[in-house]
Chains A and B, each alone.
Chain A
């Protein structure tokens, strides 16, 4: 076994080690537990970066161990160009959220369990992106859900968290069950759990079966993406969850649905079979985009405004995927990354505002601009970013998605409406920014400064957004390679 093949399982093993240490060290303070969490997660970030050179040479890095040989199930991990984009996104966001969490109050009690669950949450997402065995994929997929439910249940805010956690669990699990049905069907038909082995076999299935599987996959993963009308778990879950968990939910976990769509229906089935679904995905994306934006406009709770914004942004991604064109799908993948960065940034800003003002109603907050300039500037960058202002990242992904829409040959009107609908993003996000940072005089009781431990990761995220926007080349390159891997250069 070569060195890089040993390194790959470290992405999952080191966080597990971190979890074990935290479970043993029950008396760890929040700072100590947080440090262990950050160190474990940092390894999960460094290892894929170290493996990039191997990826460039070999195209993929694989690690495989037999697990349940009688059922042809193995512990098989594969790092490829597609998975590395999603892996780095979620690990980066989780790392940022963990650093952010050190500055805020959640997890003061039972800190070891809190950070252990955060590590498990991240592990679930990492494993999902790396798994090349469907059984393993599903285990990590559910680990993601269970860890996040526990985090909401134990450390969430308010009495409603019990009901919200239950709703989140049930709805997301229903989506997972749809995906499971498809996986079992394919496993039974092909006799192996290796996802990469299915690609050559799937054309042997009856056409009706293929249609059924694609539909179920799309619906199941759309639940995770929070596409309208399957989004109903999202606003409440984001609202009651502690802020670091909200950041991970919005910025990282939602992207797992996108990964699932690319990894399963798009990778397995031929383009001709996917074609009938294109227009429905585009319509679903448009509706989600507009609906999420309108809900963000209607909301008064600043956390829910940004939460609904996620529904809208996921609409862009689904639209891009639905174009079934190279540009559209590249744009969708890039949008996943840019959305993750900007959403993490905006939620960090929201967290700071709540920390300072103890208020979430947008009508009761105002005039914070001059008093907290660093936060205002970071928020302004996030606002401009999500509005699609060049040269910030989302502009790059949006225009590729729209270009894909025009390339697709589906009605021009649909793409025009999606493009014009992006103006709604400007409407709600400017309202959000203007209400909070402009206007009326501040009360005297506000702290002189925003907590530095919260401001630093926020500003770092803003800088990262600018850098990523100015240098989209590497990301575009990886997205292209990932799609070539799926579609074989077609």
Chain B
């Protein structure tokens, strides 16, 4: 890797956040805020500069597990990173304005996430991307740990980490399957090679990527981790969960477009899945039985739009659309922080403009059905944003419904739609999805306990039983072969001696003594006579 300007710029964009994160441990919060502003401006300039230098590949002499590490600078990746920087800047400005002090721990995590998030967007090698995504997932989960003495936070951290890890593992399945076929870790070559793979393997690859993306985008029903994060993490720290991780999911979706477009089956699955999830998200949020808050609602809906749009071959300006989704999130966050008519209008307008412009830009490549569906669903989303009841939810005390606030949901519904929504909310959302992770964990614990008692305990019992059996056999054998014969022999000898004594007393009237010595003498005489004759 030579010392050209672009390499220095690239290295700077990666290293500056790490160095500032380490430095932040040792300096005061007030100084930190100022330094952060300067750092942020530098990173923004650097990112724009990187984008202006155009798309290119940076090869490095570094090797990971016998595969060379390279970086691929793409326009979409740089735009997304720039969007992330802007959102981070706005959120941190908001935090400073509201006199919110960022803890050192959160400060370090944000900087580490920024660095590795940058690498994840720029990586040209799939394994490096996986590593960086895994690390960002860890940092996102760690951001939940606000208080080390609070076991609730710990449980949320474990849940979030496990879900994000599950997503990464499914990504790893896809990566390894392609690698087994293509024998390379270069992302572009791997994506191209999937077209040659057998359909069965390609289906696994597709499923692995889709599952990973759904988790990263926190699309219902796989968005529990984002709900925990949103409930627990406040202020600029939420940027990691609410912005960075979904954007990494967006970029992963963007990179696997050739796989989606290469098979009609995959396109159909993604489109129908997006539509189905969109409808279910809306039903789950209907009226006052909404469990998620506005951020999660918008996150889910926008994720479905992005997902569905990506499945149409020939889709244009998808990168710009994904960047605009970052800005919509920003407006939602602003509205949450300081709800006002201005922020609400900005939110509605941005959502409308984004979707409409994107539709117009793609109207000539999209099928009519999809255009209609896009239009209708955009209208539904705007209707939800504008509808008074939703407003009342958004402008209310900003109390998010917590799991224990079930009394609201248990009140009887008046009409069929409300009762259906209530039923879905109760059965699916609450009982299955919200409690599913706890239930799954309890299931694993239960299974583990059962196995411990019946299988492991069975081994112990079997071992103890075998031991007892062997001991019993040994004891019986000992008694039968050793002890009893010895006792019997002893008894026999005792009896013989007793009889002799009785004979002495009763017959001989004298004690046998030396007379007994005559017996062997007689035997000797007999033996000699036999020998002689």
Identify the A interface with B (CB < 8 A): 167, 229, 232, 291, 294-295, 297-299, 367, 369-370, 384, 387, 389-391, 395-396, 399-400, 402-403, 406-407, 412, 415-416, 419-420, 422-424, 426-427, 430-431, 434, 438-441, 472-473, 476
Chain B residue at minimum C-beta to C-beta distance from A236: B460
Chain B residue at minimum C-beta to C-beta distance from A473: B63
Residues in A with CB closer than 8 Å to B200 are: 412
Q: Are B148 and A369 in contact (CB under 8 A)?
A: yes
Min C-beta distance of B337 to chain A, whole Å: 30
Q: Are A370 and B148 in contact (CB under 8 A)?
A: yes
Q: Are A389 and B444 in contact (CB under 8 A)?
A: no
Number of interface residues of B (CB under 8 A): 43
25 residue pairs of the A-B complex, CB under 8 angstroms, read A229-B459, A295-B448, A295-B451, A298-B449, A390-B130, A390-B131, A396-B65, A399-B176, A400-B65, A412-B204, A416-B173, A416-B204, A419-B172, A423-B162, A426-B161, A426-B165, A427-B158, A430-B161, A431-B158, A434-B151, A438-B148, A438-B149, A440-B151, A441-B149, A472-B65
Tell me the chain B residues, 154-188 only, with Cβ under 8 Å from chain A: 154, 157-158, 161-162, 165-166, 169-170, 172-173, 176-177, 179-180
Known A298-B445, A439-B149: A403·B166 in contact at CB below 8 Å: no
Using A389-B138, A390-B135 as known contacts, list a sample of 12 further A-B pairs with CB atoms less than 8 Å apart, ordered by residue number in A.
Answer: A232-B459, A295-B452, A299-B452, A387-B165, A389-B135, A399-B172, A406-B176, A416-B173, A423-B166, A427-B441, A438-B148, A438-B151
Tell me the chain B residues, 108-144 only, with Cβ under 8 Å from chain A: 127, 130-131, 134-135, 138
Residues in A with CB closer than 8 Å to B317 are: none
Q: Are A406 and B448 in contact (CB under 8 A)?
A: no
Q: Are A419 and B179 in contact (CB under 8 A)?
A: no
Chain A residue at minimum C-beta to C-beta distance from B203: A412
CA distance A424 to B165 in the complex (A): 11
Min C-beta distance of A236 to chain B, whole Å: 9
Q: Are B65 and A420 in contact (CB under 8 A)?
A: no
Min C-beta distance of A299 to chain B, whole Å: 7
Q: Are A298 and B448 in contact (CB under 8 A)?
A: yes
Residues in B with CB closer than 8 Å to A367 are: 149
Q: Are B180 and A406 in contact (CB under 8 A)?
A: yes
Q: Are A294 and B172 in contact (CB under 8 A)?
A: no
Question: Which 6 pairs, one residue from A and one from B, show the smallest C-beta to C-beta distance?
Answer: A298-B448, A406-B180, A390-B131, A298-B452, A294-B448, A297-B448
Min C-beta distance of A338 to chain B, whole Å: 13
CA distance A430 to B151 in the complex (A): 13
Min C-beta distance of A162 to chain B, whole Å: 12
Min C-beta distance of A434 to chain B, whole Å: 5
Known A370-B148, A416-B173, A476-B66: A403·B444 in contact at CB below 8 Å: no
Q: Are A402 and B172 in contact (CB under 8 A)?
A: yes
Q: Are B448 and A403 in contact (CB under 8 A)?
A: no
Residues in A with CB closer than 8 Å to B448 are: 294-295, 297-298
Residues in B with CB closer than 8 Å to A441 are: 149
Choose among A389, A406, A434 the residue that contacts B177 (Cβ–Cβ < 8 A): A406
Is B37 an interface position by the 8 A CB rule?
no
Min C-beta distance of B213 to chain A, whole Å: 17
Q: Are B131 and A391 in contact (CB under 8 A)?
A: yes
Q: Are A294 and B154 in contact (CB under 8 A)?
A: no
Min C-beta distance of A227 to chain B, whole Å: 13
Q: Are A294 and B444 in contact (CB under 8 A)?
A: yes
Chain B residue at minimum C-beta to C-beta distance from A409: B180
Choose among A422, A430, A439, A476 the residue that contacts B65 (Cβ–Cβ < 8 A): A476
CA distance A96 to B173 in the complex (A): 36
Residues in B with CB closer than 8 Å to A438 are: 148-149, 151, 154
Choose among A291, A390, A395, A434 the residue that contacts B158 (Cβ–Cβ < 8 A): A434
Min C-beta distance of A144 to chain B, whole Å: 22
Choose among A167, A423, A476 the residue that contacts B169 (Cβ–Cβ < 8 A): A423
Is B201 an interface position by the 8 A CB rule?
yes
Digitize B298-328: 1 where CB-to-A-CB distance is under 8 Å, 0 elsewhere.
0000000000000000000000000000000
Q: Are A412 and B151 in contact (CB under 8 A)?
A: no
CA distance A228 to B148 in the complex (A): 37
Q: Are B444 and A424 in contact (CB under 8 A)?
A: yes
Residues in A with CB closer than 8 Å to B179 are: 403, 406
CA distance A412 to B169 in the complex (A): 14
Chain A residue at minimum C-beta to C-beta distance from B177: A406
Residues in A with CB closer than 8 Å to B176 are: 399, 402-403, 406, 415, 419
Total A-B residue contacts, Cβ distance less than 8 Å: 105
CA distance A229 to B456 in the complex (A): 9
CA distance A128 to B364 in the complex (A): 72
Q: Are A422 and B169 in contact (CB under 8 A)?
A: yes
CA distance A399 to B130 in the complex (A): 11
Residues in B with CB closer than 8 Å to A400 are: 65
CA distance A203 to B454 in the complex (A): 44
Residues in A with CB closer than 8 Å to B157 are: 434
Digitize B447-482: 1 where CB-to-A-CB distance is under 8 Å, 0 elsewhere.
111011001100110010000000000000000000
Residues in B with CB closer than 8 Å to A384 are: 138
Q: Are B165 and A297 in contact (CB under 8 A)?
A: no
CA distance A415 to B174 in the complex (A): 12
Digitize B377-394: 1 where CB-to-A-CB distance is under 8 Å, 0 elsewhere.
000000000000000000
Residues in B with CB closer than 8 Å to A297 are: 444-445, 448
Chain B residue at minimum C-beta to C-beta distance from A403: B176
Residues in B with CB closer than 8 Å to A420 are: 166, 169-170
Known A419-B169, A438-B151: A412·B177 in contact at CB below 8 Å: yes
Residues in A with CB closer than 8 Å to B441 are: 427
Residues in B with CB closer than 8 Å to A416 are: 173, 204
Min C-beta distance of A373 to chain B, whole Å: 11
Q: Are B162 and A419 in contact (CB under 8 A)?
A: no
Q: Are B456 and A295 in contact (CB under 8 A)?
A: yes
Residues in B with CB closer than 8 Å to A299 are: 452
Min C-beta distance of B477 to chain A, whole Å: 18
Chain B residue at minimum C-beta to C-beta distance from A370: B148
Chain A residue at minimum C-beta to C-beta distance from B158: A430
Min C-beta distance of B251 to chain A, whole Å: 19
CA distance A370 to B177 in the complex (A): 43
Known A167-B463, A438-B154: A423·B165 in contact at CB below 8 Å: yes
Residues in A with CB closer than 8 Å to B154 are: 434, 438-439
Residues in A with CB closer than 8 Å to B127 are: 399
CA distance A291 to B151 in the complex (A): 27
Chain B residue at minimum C-beta to C-beta distance from A412: B204
Min C-beta distance of B448 to chain A, whole Å: 4
Chain A residue at minimum C-beta to C-beta distance from B127: A399
Q: Are B158 and A294 in contact (CB under 8 A)?
A: no
Chain A residue at minimum C-beta to C-beta distance from B63: A473
Chain B residue at minimum C-beta to C-beta distance from A472: B65
Chain A residue at minimum C-beta to C-beta distance from B155: A434
Q: Are A232 and B463 in contact (CB under 8 A)?
A: yes
Residues in A with CB closer than 8 Å to B66 are: 476
Chain B residue at minimum C-beta to C-beta distance from A291: B451
Q: Are A403 and B180 in contact (CB under 8 A)?
A: yes
Residues in A with CB closer than 8 Å to B452 are: 294-295, 298-299
Residues in B with CB closer than 8 Å to A396 are: 65
Chain A residue at minimum C-beta to C-beta distance from B137: A389
Choose among B134, B180, B204 the residue that contacts A390 (Cβ–Cβ < 8 A): B134
Min C-beta distance of B421 to chain A, whole Å: 33
Min C-beta distance of B437 to chain A, whole Å: 11
Residues in B with CB closer than 8 Å to A415 are: 176
CA distance A419 to B174 in the complex (A): 11
Tell me the chain B residues, 187-203 only, with Cβ under 8 Å from chain A: 200-201
Residues in B with CB closer than 8 Å to A440 are: 149, 151
CA distance A423 to B441 in the complex (A): 12
CA distance A476 to B166 in the complex (A): 27
Q: Are B134 and A294 in contact (CB under 8 A)?
A: no
Min C-beta distance of B173 to chain A, whole Å: 6
Residues in B with CB closer than 8 Å to A423 are: 162, 165-166, 169
CA distance A291 to B450 in the complex (A): 12
CA distance A416 to B207 in the complex (A): 12
CA distance A279 to B170 in the complex (A): 22
